[in-house]
Chains A and B, each alone.
Chain A
Amino acid sequence: MSRKIWLGLVISLLVAALLSPFASAFPDGLERVAEDYGFLQTATGQEVVNSPIPDYVMPGIQNEGLATAVAGVLGVVITFAGITLLLKLLVKRNKSSA
């Protein structure tokens, strides 16, 4: 991989690891308002899948900032690997278009 690709990956990892713990929290108004509109209960307990890292917080890590940073780094790696794998399957090798 080229240096620019590595640079992009490193920036993404830094954003996910260092900035994510300082991200603005979702408004506390969320639950209250969903309650106001009477459809809070339509989402509670409705999750169809049990995600391994719910809400970007790595389970088993006490420090919340660290748990978010770890989740972010894992997410970046999973996303990069996921789309690379998907496209490797889709795109023929050394296709001469460019």
Chain B
Amino acid sequence: MDRGLVAAFLFLGGVFMHIPDGFLEAKTWLTTAAVSTGILGYSVMKTKQELNDRQIPKLGVMAAFIFAAQMINFPVVGGTSGHLLGAALATILLGPWSASLVLATVLIIQCLVFQDGGLTALGANILNMAIIGTFVAQVVYRPLSKLLSKLTSRKWPVALASFIASWLSVVVASGAAAVELALSNRIPLEVGLPAMLGVHALIGIGEGVITAAVVLAVWQVGFSPSRLEKGGAYSE
């Protein structure tokens, strides 16, 4: 394999999707910040409409768990590691609007308190992980789990749909990061995109396994997201 491609694999795998300050040019981070602000504003509005104050601790726990899980890097391949993103997990259990707020809060705290992801890149990181990751999970999970549940018993459709939705959410989010890096003239898209998609196709397997396992475990203890949001895993 081309040495540059291998190098890009290692590099982008290490960065994951928490883009640091300095990697994005002003036009890229200003644009992504504006887009993210707009969409998050809408998420806030929808969450205000849908959320009951008794449900707040559930979102708190989801955010706390995603924060903790994102610290745990698992080895992937070739000296690269990855960690849970959690966008699909939050989307499946809480619905997309609450999930995007939960993810954005985690990213803001990681940026400000732990220097994980740059402040100028925060808009891009929120767009990739909290918005695009959540959106992909939502549009994939709901129809897929419905379709699969027609074919077989109730547990496996949820697990399989969780796996596929979370795998795709990670891969698409990483593609968005590659586009932003290309727009900032850091790495050409024809190199960055296959590298990002390739390594995250592997990281996504870990994401899928963890997401499916946690969704099933949460189901086991009787957590009922149907009361949080119509379209959660157990709403039917």
Contact = CB atoms under 8 A, between A and B. Distances in A.
Contacts of B118: 43, 46-48
A43 to B, nearest CB: 4
B235 to A, nearest CB: 13
Given A11-B65, A33-B11, A47-B21, A24 B71 contact: no
Which range contains the number of A residues in contact with the other chain?
35 or more
Contact of A44 (B22, B56, B221): B22
Given A55-B115, A90-B44, A91-B51, A25 B106 contact: no
A79 B112 CA distance: 12
Nearest to A44: B22
A55 B116 contact: yes
A87 B59 contact: yes
Interface in A1-51: 1-2, 4-5, 7-9, 11-13, 15-16, 19-20, 23-30, 32-34, 36-37, 39, 42-44, 46-49, 51
Contacts of B74: 23-24
Which range contains the number of B residues in contact with the other chain?
35 or more
Contact of B14 (A2, A15, A29): A29
A65 interface: no
Interface stretch (B2-10, B138-146, B147-155, B164-172): B2-10
Nearest to A11: B65
Interface of A: 1-2, 4-5, 7-9, 11-13, 15-16, 19-20, 23-30, 32-34, 36-37, 39, 42-44, 46-49, 51-56, 68, 71-72, 75-84, 86-88, 90-98
Given A27-B80, A28-B79, 11 more contacts: A4-B222, A19-B71, A25-B81, A34-B11, A39-B23, A48-B120, A55-B114, A71-B114, A76-B68, A87-B47, A87-B51
